[in-house]
Amino acid sequence: MQAIDVQWVGRIDYDAAWEWQKSLVATAAAGAADPNLPDTLLLLEHSPTYTLGRRGSLDHLLLSQAELDAAGFTLRWVDRGGDITYHGPGQLVGYPILNLKRLFARRGLSRPDLHQYLRDVEEVIIRALAAFDIYGWRYEGYTGVWVHGPAGPAKIAAIGIKVSGSGISSHGFALNVNPDLTHFDHIIPCGIREHGVTSMAAVLAQPLTTTDLIQPITDAFCDVFEVQPEQEIMRLGD
């Protein structure tokens, strides 16, 4: 079974994590022919940050730069797919650095199926939510994972990815465990005006921490992608 290095990083600034991803992608591309080179899954939290993907629109950001600065938010244009989203404390972010050519070759395909990869990432989150008796589901026409809320469908996890020319994935998912949901009020999340966002803590009406999700996410990821952790999760952060 393919090995994967799962690391719980703790809190890390967005720019530092982005540079780390780029380095891991370069290493994975250089060693793509080595069947023993493990994949990587980084699990972490960010300081308050808004990111705009390749299809992002500043019309979906509701604060001026001065207001962002005053509130202590970082704003970054990034090279993932999707529109604007929020990252912050209380949100579990996962960055899978996977050799997708190798992954899909194991499944008998000659090239990566990116739509299936997105569905697989959604499945990881759906299974992790199920461990807390939360029913997460896919909403046709949208990417991410949704739950039923008092006002209708609400997004609980956002997904935005990049795949390099070498077939190496980066960026990933953001699961709202217990973030400050008012921080989503400053954007139109993912450019979706008709639906809101929620968190696991709001659904369960009880407090949770991102560390409560480390093992459920890791277990679900390994099951869906048929990988085996190299070792006990390396805890680099607090």
Give the active site residues: 190
Cα distance between residue 158 and residue 102, in whole Å: 25
Contact at 8 Å (CB) between 134 and 203? yes
Dihedral sign (CA 7, 11, 15, 16): negative
Contact at 8 Å (CB) between 148 and 156? no
Residue 199 CB partners (closer than 8 Å, separation 6+) = 90, 156, 176, 177, 178, 179, 181
DSSP-derived pairing of the beta strands 196-197 and 152-163? parallel
Whole-Å CA distances, 126 to 92, 130, 146: 14, 6, 9
Dihedral sign (CA 70, 73, 79, 85): negative
SS3 24: helix
Whole-Å CA distances, 14 to 31, 78, 84, 222, 225: 26, 10, 14, 25, 26
Find the distance separating the first CA and the last CA of the chain, reported in whole Å: 30
Cα distance between residue 122 and residue 143, in whole Å: 8
